[in-house]
Amino acid sequence: LEKATVGTVHSEDWGIFNRICDIINTTEDGPKDAVKALKKRISGNCNHKEIRFALSLLDFCMNNCDPCFQSLVVKKEFAKDVLVKVLKPKYNPPVDVQNKILNFIETWANGVQRVVDVSEVKEIYMDMKKKGIVFPPSDFAVEKQSNCPLRTVPTEDLSLKEPCLLPSLTSTVAAFPATHETLVTLTPIQVKNLQIGKLYSELDIVKMNISVMSAILIENTPAAENPDDMELLEKLHNTCQAMQERIRKLLNDVANEDVTHVLLQVNDDLNNVFLRYNRY
């Protein structure tokens, strides 16, 4: 497993992935040893390339290994303590890594196989939803599956048609990096002079800030607030107000209906979270 996920390899070696699945399915301690090795590779690893390979291998094994392996993966000890932990700010995972982990949690929560108990991962999923964490859209899951071949089909390395850029809310809200310089990045210039991908990336930051604000408002009780949460909430409120002003100026220059729709939607989300903030 370490050989299959080392950062020096250029792409997934589906042949090694197959052999790992064979070991998992044909040895008594295979499932337990594989989960232990995956945990070792992912936990506390700052090498995002190695994490990507480990997640690809995990996806492959979940599609091709027996329920004994699957049942260990959907337990809190792995799904939450290993995977969800990667989403914390101190690890600063790339968007594609965030989306893959979020997609795993959502997919597993909806059922792996009838013989696998998914109650623990479902509880994790529902808790994340309550905190306002944004999960990738369903079409991301469909596209993603083409990246992970089953053992009965050709193993060419297929890529996503379009990258999914939906940053997630981390489980430790107060630790979210909230410097003004990092968050305020939108500029009120005409969209025709701004790459659409860059604009959407900036809007993803706005969505993340909205999610963090929402989570803080949910998790705190008036007169019993966490001081760090409240300090972050104030910073996010000020930053989001500046962002909204820039979004409104951008709307005057937009000639693309799709972009206009997204800008209006984000603006509505900002208005909603500001209303909740004022009520709080």
Position 175 scores a pLDDT of 30
Position 138 scores a pLDDT of 57
Long-range contacts of 34-43 (CB under 8 A, 24+ apart): 34/1, 34/61, 34/65, 34/69, 35/69, 35/72, 35/73, 35/78, 37/1, 37/2, 38/1, 38/78, 38/82, 39/78, 39/82, 41/1, 41/2, 41/5, 42/82, 42/83, 42/86, 43/82, 43/85
| Mean pLDDT, the chain, integer | 77
pTM of the model: 0.52
Average pLDDT of the segment spanning 218-246 = 86
Q: Please, which pLDDT band fits residue 114 given cuts at 50, 70 and 90?
A: low
Q: Which domains, ranges and CATH numbers included, belong to the chain? A: 2-130 (1.25.40.90), 188-278 (1.20.58.160)
**Buried b / exposed e across 150-186, counting CB within 10 Å, b at 16+?**
eeeeebeeeeeeeebbbbbbbbebbebebeeeebbeb
Greater model confidence, 138 or 17:
17
